[in-house]
Amino acid sequence: VWPWGRGNHYLFDMNRDWFTMTQPESERSAWIASWLPQLLVDSHEMGANATYLFPPPRHPFNPHLPANTRKWELPFSSDQARALDGRGYPYYSGEWNEEFFPGYGSSWAAYHGAIGILYEMSRTTGTLVRKRGGTVRTFAQAVEHQTTSSVANLISLADGAAEILADHVAARAQAVENGKTGPIRAWVFPADPDNPERLEKFAALLTDQGLEVRSLGEKTVRAKGLTDARTGEKAEQELAAGSLLIRLDQPAGHLARVLLDPHIPMDVVFFRDEREYLEKGKGSRLYETTAWSLPLLRAIPAYWSGKVPGGQWEAWTPSAPPAAGPLDAPFNSVIVEGGTDQAPRLLADLLQAGVTVRVARKPFTMGGRSFPRGALVLQAEGNGDDLTEVLNNLAAKHGVTMHAVGTANAEDGPDLGGGEYPVLVAPRVGVLTGMPVSPTDYGAIWHLLDQELDLRFSSLDVGRFSGIDLSRYNVLVFPGVYGGSAMYRQVLGTGGVDKLRRWIEAGGTAIGIDGGARMLADQETGLTRTRFRSQALAEFPPPVWSIAAAEA
């Protein structure tokens, strides 16, 4: 919906092809501001025994938030409060949600210079809830909270439309100015020939968020004065074609900094508050995560610079995946590099297609080419007559280069027919789900297996563990749970833990993540001698870096 009418500003999908990267920043900032949302509401629910939450949030505040974010919080929330007061509804603000992590639904718009507002309504699950205090909250009342708030916000938006739009443009112009004069003026991501798809997906993600991404042309550039995002050390880099550049003198510069920086500082006032809470045993004041740098998260070499490196940088456009050459000659074995991002996806498809796959335990050399440990070896012997067709189809699907060899005799390292190339067992995976398993932890595992690897697996209800035939699986994944490892023990029961122990002793592989790891290493379950440090303090007390604890 285009923002023609006064106050009628709605969010719609951004299309990066609607404007050119060559427009002057001033024109582009004003033009984008005309179709970016001026107001974005993140409206959802929270615990049933709460009331209703909306801005302002409390500290810590992200230092990259544009100034207009804080300026408009109070006017909007005051109008919203008056509207809710007229209906006699209780509410609160500034109590638990901070504006530090950029992953709130409302935060994304704020870093683009718009106004982001968070609503949190006490949950009614579509019916009604009797709270601990005796109040009954109905679904209709929950809807009334949200609609009353939205109408109040829209009226506030209409009343301040001219100034809000001017502040929006000013925030984006300030981002451009910061990128021109600030200590960090560009981010550089060198091309990675081993994992070109990784950088390609990264560029697509940043572009979809509204950032201008540039790619280096054919001529190589030597960039000086770079700072390694992982170590903080100064560096020089030979940037090959396909390297990426994010200039910070762009309208979305605030978002670029908050997504890419490896460290976002907090203010001293918050640290003092946080320390008081921790020392009094009241827990952390932080609600969300405090580290999220996308280059570090995606294992992408990254550098920032106080100046924009030279070279022919052009607007990034998606490139076609590399075409893999067909296997058209007879071969004894086929070797695939094991360290690329494509290798696990290829492996999943090979195993699900019934192909026998071996893995190299040691480095070796064949045909003048060195392969590290972890390389996949596919021998013609023992596989079907259609192996060539299967491999050609999968090579084309994943863009993987397959190296055909006509001998088992290695020029260096173990020969291909020896014991250093064990056969991989196809995984039959079960992932535990259902209460008390965290839905978000389960969702991350589901996304990895289903969307990234395309690997078949079964979702297993942890509450029915005693009735599951574990012989159908050779891998069980235990995600994190609400309430810690004790919740796993409670749901599994003594019989379930004994059943799991027998399955592991028979050769099953149990993988624990977060609370699942704590359950597997818990001394109460006795599944392994491994312990978390909290259960081994008698043998391994924490170090004292200063005066003794008793003296302190």
Contact 465, 501 (CB under 8 A): no
Classified as helix, coil or strand, 239 is strand
Could you report the per-residue pLDDT of 1-55, keeping only the tens digit for each?
233 333 333 333 333 333 333 445 445 445 444 555 688 898 889 999 999 999 9
pLDDT tens readout for residues 217-252: 988 999 999 999 999 999 999 999 999 999 999 999
Q: Are 518 and 489 in contact (CB under 8 A)?
A: no
Which two structure tokens, joined as six digits, stand for 522? Answer: 């818990």
Q: What pLDDT is attached to residue 545?
A: 66
Residue found under tokens 């179709």:
35
The mean pLDDT value for 56-79 works out to: 94
| pLDDT given at position 549 | 60
- Mean of pLDDT values over 480-492: 88
Is residue 215 predicted with pLDDT exceeding 80? Answer: yes
3-state secondary structure 434-468: CCCECHHHHHHHHHHHHHHCCCCEEEEEHHHHHHC
Token digits for 224?
A: 């000086």
Query: How far, in Å, CA of 373 to CA of 395, rounded?
Result: 21
For residue 6 the two structure tokens come to 């006064």
Residue whose C-alpha is closest to residue 175's, from 261, 243, 248: 248
Are 213 and 316 in contact by the 8 Å Cβ rule? The answer is yes
Q: Residue 328 pLDDT more than 80? A: no
Which stretch of 118-127, 161-170, 336-345, 522-531 has the lowest confidence by average pLDDT?
Answer: 522-531
Highest mean pLDDT among 316-325, 327-336, 344-353: 344-353
Note the pTM of the prediction, 2 decimals.
Answer: 0.80
Q: What is the pLDDT of residue 130?
A: 94
Q: What are the angstrom distances between the C-alpha of 390 and each of 41, 354, 406?
A: 49, 10, 19
Which residues, in sequence order, are bridge partners of residue 477? 431, 511
pLDDT for the residue 21: 38
Average pLDDT over residues 335-362: 94
pLDDT of residue 320: 78
Q: Which residues are CB-neighbours of 541 under 8 A, at least 6 positions away?
A: none
Q: What average pLDDT does the chain have? A: 89
- Position 88 scores a pLDDT of 95
